[in-house]
Amino acid sequence: MSHSGKIYVQTLILSIALFILGQIVFIKFFQFLEPNVNGVLFQITEQKGKIKTSLLFSLTLAFVPILLLLTWRLSPINLLSKKIGSGLTILIFILLAIWIHRQAVKSYFTRVDKNLISVDQNKNVVYPIDPAPFVYYMFVGMLFGCIASYFLFRQRKYPT
């Protein structure tokens, strides 16, 4: 098998592993991401729909190595240092997108939705929340990271 063939197989295996990991850690991951808001206890749920949020999350995780490899191939990014920088750029954009959405949720529940919070400060209101917007933000962050990575680390062709 050629070198590029091995890379494609390794990327596919990593994508499958990330997909499975996403299915396993879905609830724990989003419980960790939900902000701490006094008086609100978030309960991770999935809305009944065509595609479950856990599947969207797992697919988003599985697309990370695929889109990273695609970015490397289209750019082309050949140096190991640039590949590492590219991967970190995409990761930073994903984390930034998660943080932005987390702040939006926190802001909503601390400012706008005071009526949901119990008058009794010793009780928490259980609020069911579907983390689908987190997944959408992650996906958009990943796409912006790929675009930024393409422009920051690509091999530039200079006229001779």
**pTM to 2 decimal places:** 0.87
Q: Which helix (H) or strand (E) holds 128?
A: strand 125-129
| Longest Cα–Cα distance in the chain | 74
Q: Per-domain residue ranges for the chain?
A: 3-153
Cβ contact 44:38 at 8 Å? no
List the end-to-end C-alpha distance of the chain, in Å, as a whole number.
Answer: 35
Q: Quote the CA–CA distance of 44 and 54 in Å, as a whole number.
A: 11
What sign does the CA torsion over 82, 57, 107, 141 have?
positive
Q: Quote the CA–CA distance of 86 and 77 in Å, as a whole number.
A: 8
Q: Quote the CA–CA distance of 80 and 103 in Å, as a whole number.
A: 34
Q: Quote the CA–CA distance of 77 and 153 in Å, as a whole number.
A: 6
pLDDT tens-digit readout, 50-74: 889 999 999 999 999 999 999 999 9
pLDDT tens-digit readout, 126-144: 888 999 999 999 999 999 9
What's the token pair of residue 87? 């991967």
149 to 48, 50, 71, 153: CA distances (angstroms): 36, 32, 8, 6
Residue-level pLDDT at 160: 59
Per residue of the chain (160 residues), what is the pLDDT tens digit?
887 889 999 999 999 999 999 999 999 999 998 888 777 888 999 877 788 999 999 999 999 999 999 999 999 998 999 999 999 999 999 999 999 999 999 888 877 656 555 555 667 778 889 999 999 999 999 999 999 999 999 988 766 5
